Structure 1
Amino acid sequence: MSLRMTALLLASVLWYLAAANTHETADCCLTTSTKKVPHRVVRTYIIQTSDGGCRIPATVLITWRRIRLCVPPAAGNNWVAKLLRKVARRRPRKGKVVCHRKSRPSKKRA
């Protein structure tokens, strides 16, 4: 009898955990601001679409201090498109990192 209760309890806990993980809330912009944002405060951006569970399309700007700013999509606004181009140019390029520090000659011990 206790084996049956243990199995039932385990099944209900597993069902609860599976149901809890399927209802993730999306972090969406509800409105957008038309106030221009300087490109030097923007670290990166995310494109929000209306078909991904959010109500409106928007561009989410993420600042260096991890603040999220909602602005209109780049397709309809020239200043947003320019800002995204500037941020994209600033992203680190792949390749070898070169150190420009002069190296000291090593002293050999006798």
Structure 2
Amino acid sequence: MASKVAALLLLGLICFEFAAAQIAVDCCLRVESEKRLNRRNLVSYTIQKAGMGCDISATVFVNRKNMKLCVVPPEGNPGVQKIIDFLNKRT
């Protein structure tokens, strides 16, 4: 009887760990140049870091139609940093 309870607890623990590992992360798979962006259509942004659940670093802009646009990270890219500064001033 004790072995059945132990086996059931072990099975429950394995299922819990498996379910916890299945957290979906919405990541950019590739990035584009910032030259195609119209900053007036953008409403927000987030910074995606490599190794924090995603494979690459990127800046994720969201436009008025709630579409996500993945561009190069702001480090070393003055065009992306200007757009981020513009959005920060607007909000």
TM bucket, shorter chain: 0.7 to 0.9
Q: CA deviation at 1:20?
A: 2.0
* Equivalent residue runs for 1:63-78 within 5 Å: 63-78=63-78
Name whichever structure is richer in helix by fraction.
2
Aligned counterparts of 1:17 and 1:64: Cα–Cα separation in 2: 39
Aligned counterparts of 1:13 and 1:64: Cα–Cα separation in 2: 44
* Equivalent residue runs for 1:70-109 within 5 Å: 70-91=70-91
Q: Find the structure with the greater CA-based Rg.
A: 1
Segments ≥4 residues shifted beyond 4 Å: 11-15
CA RMSD of aligned residues (A): 2.3
Amino acid at match of 1:32: V
Query: Hey, what does 1:94 align to over in structure 2?
Result: none
> What is the TM-score with the length of structure 2 in the denominator?
0.76
Asked if 1:29 corresponds to 2:28, the answer is yes
* Equivalent residue runs for 1:10-25 within 5 Å: 16=15, 19-25=18-24
Structure 2 gaps of 5+ residues are 1-6
Give the number of the structure with larger relative contact order, counting CA–CA contacts within 8 Å between residues 6 or more apart: 2
Structure 1 gaps of 5+ residues are 1-7, 92-110
In the alignment, is the contact (CA less than 8 A) between 1:36 and 1:79 conserved in 2?
no
